[in-house]
Amino acid sequence: MKYFPVFIDAEHTNCLIVGAGEVAARKLELVLKTPAKITVVAPWVSDTVAKLSRLENVTLHEREFVEDDLNGKTLVFVATDKQSINQHIHDMAHSKGILVNVVDNTPLCKFITPSIVDRSPIIIAMSSGGVAPVLLRYIRQKLETVLPHKISLLGDFSERFRDKVKTALSSVTDRRYFWEDVLDGDIGENVLQGQQTKAELQLDIALQKYQNGDKPAGQVYLVGAGPGDPDLLTFRALRLMQKADVVVYDRLVSPDILELVRRDAEKIYVGKAKSNHTIPQEEINELLAKLALEGNRVVRLKGGDPFIFGRGGEEIQTLIEHGVDFQVVPGITAATGAASYAGIPLTHRDHAQSVTFTTGHLRDNSIDLNWRALAQPSQTLVFYMGLTGLPIICRELIAHGLAPSTEIALVENATRANQKVLTGTLENILKNSLTKDIKPPTLIIVGGVVSLHKQLNWFTAQEA
C-alpha cells in the first residue's frame, strides 16, 4: 500500500482550506460532515463557499494566504488555480509536519481523501491512490446498493452496548463471538426493523447466557479454497474465512486467497511437498481437534475440494472421535479448474463420455493403479500429483492399450495469472525440452479432449 488508511479524530482537528472556488467547496462540504473546525482563506469566494461559511464551525478570511494561517492546523487542503501558490503552501505545510492535500495533484498530496460510503457511525473509505477514480466510483455505487441504509442502526446499537459487553466478557474472543451472534441473528434483525426495545431485552438475555458459560463450542470448517483464483471461492467459504480464529492451510492455497482470511486470525501452515511433509497427516487431524476443543472456530483451508484427494474424510473421522462439531464447504476441484481455464472440456460428445480422477503419486518409485481400466478409449483421465511419475504414466497407459498418439496436457498453477499449459502426446511429451520447466502444482489431463485446447482456450495465460 502506497497510502496507509487511517481515520482521524475530526472532533480535535483544525482544518485549513486555501481557495474558495467550486473545487474548494467540494472539500468544504466533505469536511463539514465532521465536527472539525474549518478555516477558509481566499481573496475571492464562490457562492457555494459563501453560503457554507455562515455555519458555526467555519471561519472565512477573504484575503491572500499568509504563513500564519498554518498555525495550529492539522489538515490542509489547497485548491487554488495557481500552481506556484499550491507548491509554496505544500512546501511550508510539509516543513511544519502538517498533512497537506493539493487537490487534483497527487504528487503534492501527503494524504488523499477516499471515496466514502457513509452510514454513520459505519464509514467505508476506499482509495485507488489517485490512479483509477472512475473504477472507484463504480465500486462505491456497488457498495451503496448492497449495504442497507439502516445498517447505521446496528452501529448505534453496538456503540450503546459496547462498554456493557466489554465489562461482562473479559475475553476478546468471547466478545467477538457474542457480537457475531448478535449481529447475525434475531437481535440484529430486530434492530434493523426498528424494534429497539425488543432487541435490548434479547441482548441482556444473551449476555447473561454467555456469562454463565452457555456459549457456542469450538467448531471446524473444512473449506475448499479452489484451484487458486480467489474469484472462484464460494460465498460461504469467504464468510467462514472471515469468522475464523485459526486457519490451518496447505501448500496449494494461493497467497491471494490467504489475503482474504481475517487479519487477526492465527495462521498455521501444514503444507506437504514431495518428500517433505511439514506435519504428518495424523498430527494435522489431532491439531484440528485440539484447536476446536480449546473453543476456537477453525478453518481447515484446502486447495481444491476437501473430499477430492484432500484427505477431508480422514480429518472428519478424527473430529468425530473427539466429539468436535464440523461443517464441509465444497470447493472447485483442481481438475475442473485446470480443465476450464485451459479450454479442455473433460467430457465431449465427440471425444469422451466419461472422466476419471486419479492420483499419480509415487510410492516406492512406482504408481499402483488399475492401468487396464484407465487405458480405455473415449474417456478423459486426470492425474493429481503425477508430475514426478509422468514417465510411468505415459509408459503404462501405452503398455495397456492407449495409442502413443493419445494427447496429453500438463497444466501448471491452474486458474492463476501464471498458469502454464503444455500439450503433446503420450509418446512425445517427455521429449519436449519444455517439460522439464513444468513445476508442481500441475494437473495431467489425458484423452482426445486435449485436442480442443488450442480452439477453446479462452484464458490469457502462458503457453509452455
CA distance 446 to 379: 9
Residue carrying C-alpha cell 500552481: 83
Three-state DSSP state, 281: helix
CB–CB of 342/459 below 8 Å? yes
The three cell numbers of residue 207 are 449476555
Rounded CA separation 169/152 (Å):
24
Residues marked as catalytic = 250, 272
- Residues 268, 247: contact at Cβ < 8 Å? yes
Using alpha carbons, list the distances in angstroms from residue 463 to 61, 374, 423: 65, 27, 9
Helices (H), 185-299: 186-192, 196-211, 235-243, 255-258, 281-293
Q: Identify the residue whose cell numbers are 485451459.
A: 342
Query: Residue 257 is placed in which grid cell?
Result: 486467497
Cell numbers placing 300: 481447515
For residue 145, what are the contacts with CB-CB under 8 A and spacing of at least 6? Answer: none
